Structures are given as C-alpha cells and as structure tokens.
C-alpha cells in the first residue's frame, strides 16, 4: 500500500469519525481521537466516540428493529386487525437490510484488519 493510499484511508477515517461524532471537519476533531486531551474531551467539548460503543449501539439498534419486526409479524399472524400487512413487510425488509449492511461492514472490517496484520513493518 503506497503512502498516498494510506493518506487517503486516513482522511476517510477522519471524515467518518467527525461525521459519527456530529462534528464538522472544521470542528477540529482529529483522526480516531487524535488531538483529544488526556481528560477525554475533544477541543470542541464533545466526548470522543469509542468505536466499540458505536458498534454495540448499532448492533443493539438492529436487534431492536428485528424484534419489532418479529412482534409485528406475530401480531398479524395472530389476527390483530390493527396490524397492516404492508407495515409488517416493510419492517421485516428494513430489519433484514440493516442486518445485511451490518454484516457487510463487519466483513470489510475483518478484511481491513487482516490486511493491516499482513503488512510488513
């Protein structure tokens, strides 16, 4: 991997980190916590976002979506007249799509980790 490619990846990571923390590029949030003082608060006054907590929150949201879709489907199957089949199908599709997207992100992270670990230093 060339130096230019590494710089591009780092720039993308900085942009994603800034977007995830709700801070604009001009806000001063550095790459993956760079520039964050020892107190754990960025120069903009917002606490840095931990990648593990971001992933856990995302997994929890997807699990909630799947549980809601399952409960809607069960309510429709039980004959609840207030549950519309289109709403059930939409919720099931949204939950499935979110799960597939999360799986793809996981796969990309594993690939990136593998590539980094195979780099010679």
Q: How far apart are CA 85 and CA 39, in angstroms?
A: 51
Residue 107 has phi, psi (to 5 degrees) of -60, -40
Residues 77 and 109 in one domain: yes
The string of pLDDT tens digits covering residues 40-49 is: 555 666 667 7
**Residues of the domain holding 112:** 50-121
Total domains present in the chain: 2
pTM over 0.75: no
The string of pLDDT tens digits covering residues 59-72 is: 999 999 999 999 99
How large is the angle between the packed helices 51-77 and 85-117, nearest 10 degrees? 150
Percent share of the chain, pLDDT over 70:
74
Angle at 25 between CA 6 and CA 52, to 5 degrees: 65
Judged against a pLDDT cut of 90, whether residue 18 lies above it is answered with: no
Residues 37 and 64 in one domain: no
pLDDT at 32: 43
Judged against a pLDDT cut of 80, whether residue 39 lies above it is answered with: no
Residue 19: name the closest of 33, 29, 8, 6 by CA: 29
Residues 100 and 56 in one domain: yes
Neighbours of 42 (CB within 10 A): 22
Q: Give the N- to C-terminal CA distance of the chain in Å, as an integer.
A: 12
Judged against a pLDDT cut of 50, whether residue 28 lies above it is answered with: no
The string of pLDDT tens digits covering residues 64-106 is: 999 999 999 999 999 999 999 999 999 999 999 999 999 999 9
Q: Which of 27, 46, 65 is the last residue of a domain?
A: 46
Neighbours of 23 (CB within 10 A): 19
More confident of the two residues 119 and 38? 119
Q: How far apart are CA 29 and CA 34, in angstroms?
A: 7
């Amino acid at each position: 991997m060339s130096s230019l490619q590494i710089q591009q990846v780092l720039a993308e990571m900085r942009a994603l980190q800034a977007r995830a923390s709700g801070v604009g590029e001009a806000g001063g949030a550095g790459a993956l916590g760079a520039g964050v003082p020892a107190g754990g608060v960025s120069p903009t006054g917002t606490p840095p976002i931990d990648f593990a907590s971001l992933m856990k929150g995302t997994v929890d949201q997807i699990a909630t979506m799947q549980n809601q879709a399952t409960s809607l489907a069960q309510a429709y199957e039980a004959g609840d007249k207030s549950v519309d089949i289109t709403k059930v199908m939409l919720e099931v599709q949204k939950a499935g799509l979110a799960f597939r997207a999360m799986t793809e992100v996981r796969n990309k992270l594993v690939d990136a980790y593998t590539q980094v670990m195979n780099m010679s230093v």
